[in-house]
Chain A
Amino acid sequence: MKLRQGTFSFLPDLTDSEIHTQVQYCIDNGWAVSVEYTDDPHPRNTYWEMWGHPMFDNPDAAAVVFEVNECRKQFGDSYIRVIAFDSSHGWESIKLSFIVNRPKDEPGFHVSREEVKGRSIRYSIKSYATDKPEGRRY
């Protein structure tokens, strides 16, 4: 099951030159771009591991694509995303976030139903991959 998180996630995977174009758009808007990776695909897993510092002062997107590829070399079987942080007043948050790398095999999520008071049902989801400990999931 393909993970659909962030922008462009319903499109086919972006190529390097497409990533370059998107990142250049972010940089031209003055957003700080950074690369992050994780092996826990849960949608509520907001804070991924940082791959290096956010790139505040690179005027060209080639640097980000370079870092994405470096990250792929080490964590090729994890999720890698590019995020763009807008620091302007009133926003101070992530403006754009998209996945640029995913594991070869994505097992998907298990939906568990728990019957609680008054016969209502509480749902929760859990990735099959996270049964194994961190670093051995994919």
Chain B
Amino acid sequence: MAMINEHDALTAPASVAGVEGDAGDFFALLKPRVMSLVVFTALVGMLMAPGEIHPVIGFIAILAIAVGGGASGALNMWYDADIDLMMGRTAKRPIPAGRISAETTLAFGLFLSVFSVATLGLMVNWLSAGLLAFTIFFYAVVYTMWLKRSTPQNIVIGGAAGAFPPIIGWACVTNSISLESIALFAIIFLWTPAHFWALALFKSEDYGRAGVPMLPNVAGERTTKNQIVLYAVLTAISGIVPAVMGFAGLVYGGVAAVFGAAFIWYSLKVWRMPDGDKKMIPAKKMFAYSLLYLFVIFTALLVDALAPKLMGLVA
């Protein structure tokens, strides 16, 4: 029998899964692509907020929000390792692939959650820290542990977790929640269903195998397509709200209107797609466009917020 002393206990025998993960695997636990969206939207919320924040404090706030978002991703991967193994899209994640153990991932996720919230609270303010803690709880517990496996409305309600970062970014500067930051929240919140259901349409076999009750599996393709159009229209409307409320300019409003109209157009292409279509090209295009849409909207908001300041510097 092998003897393992205290130090070696940290590096278990080769026969035990989950010891070969390198730094890249731990980074993958943070869901870097989701994290990039979190960072970007939080940054836009921060830069649009009225008021000033010291650049170093702002950098630390974004870092803490990114780590908090990553922590919730790790907790999601810990809890969902069983279904990740059954889906092609997720089977190569560190836990199902056997490179990092579930216990290590849980500890990693919990530590980063506490660390990111404490850092944000101590260095920025406790409102933003509280919002970050709530976001992590909402994604890891409400969405991952409860809604995801129990209702086809999982990503509608769970989408709130992904929509919180601009509110947190805003709160870092103002120490408050305002109608403007809620309007930014609404854009991402209403965008999420159309984005995920487009994916769920062409990945429905995967979700079916894993037993996740996504809308196409539970209510069928037709209902899903109707819902995609509905949420695309709501997203397009929410996109122009910042211009209507007056905290973004007319140029932004024009960009949001054009890209929102295209979002609806792509959703109608999905709606016209025959039921039982195998290739699902319109759904794949809708999914890709939805990512572009959100990126363009938040970039336009960023430019709209920064342009006057930059022009003031030049003048």
Q: Do A and B bind each other?
A: no
